[in-house]
Chain A
Amino acid sequence: MSDPSEIWRQSLAMGMGRTPFVNGLDGEVVEVRAGWAKMRLPYSDKIVGNPDTGVAHGGVITGFLDQCCGMAVGSALREPASFATLDLRIDYMKPARPGADLLFEGECVKVTHEIAFARARAYQDSIDDPVAIATGTFMFTSTGGAGMPAKMV
């Protein structure tokens, strides 16, 4: 824990992952590593988008994929920096099975001075059989506490 970047990653997991939106839907951060984050969302009535079938609303999945991409970017940096989502593309592969947890894994694939690129998957049984796949692009709005450009770990 003496590694500053490790402390930053842990605080990210504690703080950034606990947004009111995530808390309100009973979501949680499972694990954060450098440039990688995993979250879990238990099934509940709150996330239902189709009352006939009980299938989760696509927007819920979008929200957690966005969160996971953002955490993957944040944890890829040597020091804290703020950034904003430029765009997010979601491909919905299949409906989420009602009653089962949703898992999300996000990965930061590239960080430049201005921009970060991330990918994330939503799945239930296996990450190789995804419910949805996200591609996100983020823009840095600050360059970190020491005035250094954002860099990957």
Chain B
Amino acid sequence: MKLLLTGNYAAAYAVRDAQPDVISAYPITPQTPIIEKLAEFIDSGELKAKFVRVESEHSAMAALIGAASVGARTYTATSSQGLLYMYEVVWWAAGARLPIVMGLVTRALGPPWNIWSDHADFFTVRSSGWTMLFASSAQEVYDLTLIAYCVAEHRDVLLPALVAWDAFEVSHTYEPVELVEDATRLLPPKGAWAPPLAAEDPASLGNLAYPEEYAETRRLMVEAVRRVPLVFAEAAGRLRELTGRDYSRGYECYRCEDAETVFIAMGSVYGEVRSAVDALRARGVPVGALKVWLYRPFPYEGVARVLDGKKMAIVLSRTTSLGAMGPLATDVATALALKGCSVKLVEFSAGVGGVDVTEDDVVAMYKAALEREGGTYFWRGR
């Protein structure tokens, strides 16, 4: 079935199809339409979930920790300040090994107040243990939300997962979205994982651990995170069989094979990047583009393989990383260093706080990157 949906509604349809037991959320622009739609689904009986209308984002995640600890499938969504307010329990959810799924509509952090897209909120949780996916269209929001449940609840993983997408360009823009006819063919069966807490077999979740025991819980998390790419690829493989859409590598390459320069981006700007690649190619400039879907764990190997032997990598970062190269560019640099690749790396902070980045901007960035040293530059437009 194909529907015309915004990115936010695509998330709500994916959640309806995943049939969580407990949803808890707090309103914040631009996330709010997700939970409004979910409330409608619950009202109409299409979604049989309990909806805990909490008094803060901190409580939203805490409620899901309580729910997931006894075996519930869960969902929440937030943005920006909401994620930061929730931050403490975001880490708690990961440490408690609970397969919570969250939607994050990326939005700038204040001050000044700004409701438009910026990935600063997204990057704040990059070391927490959450599987982090980035969607660049409404269709990807739908698909990756379903895959998030498959990864989170897999018994080799049991870690929370989030799917992020840009405010407004994706969250509020209508696009055709093809739904999975029977999502149960993709998703794990309910109750496939054993919850940590049950009255019939009492145990404690999260009590005091001395250094060695604490370190062991973190080591086990490291192991679980290492298994994510394989589990992600399996789930993406099942989706590909059902729909033909393929996310299994965790990233997409566009005209990279014979490229000398590769643009790297996440989110809605990727559409402009592809158009710019076509425009530059039409003038005989050998460029390609790489879009990251699976941000954590980061696909170092795959990214390095794509970039190996290229002359230049240009990272478009939709945020300002003050005092250091941005996280995505740092990850690319790490991928290159681990592989021993010598590729010029240029990062542009572009699209910060919702500033529009067009195909012409991307073409101009290519020209600017040729003239500059490797490093991070703030893109103020042409």
Specify whether A and B are partners. Answer: no
B residues touching A (Cβ–Cβ < 8 Å)? none
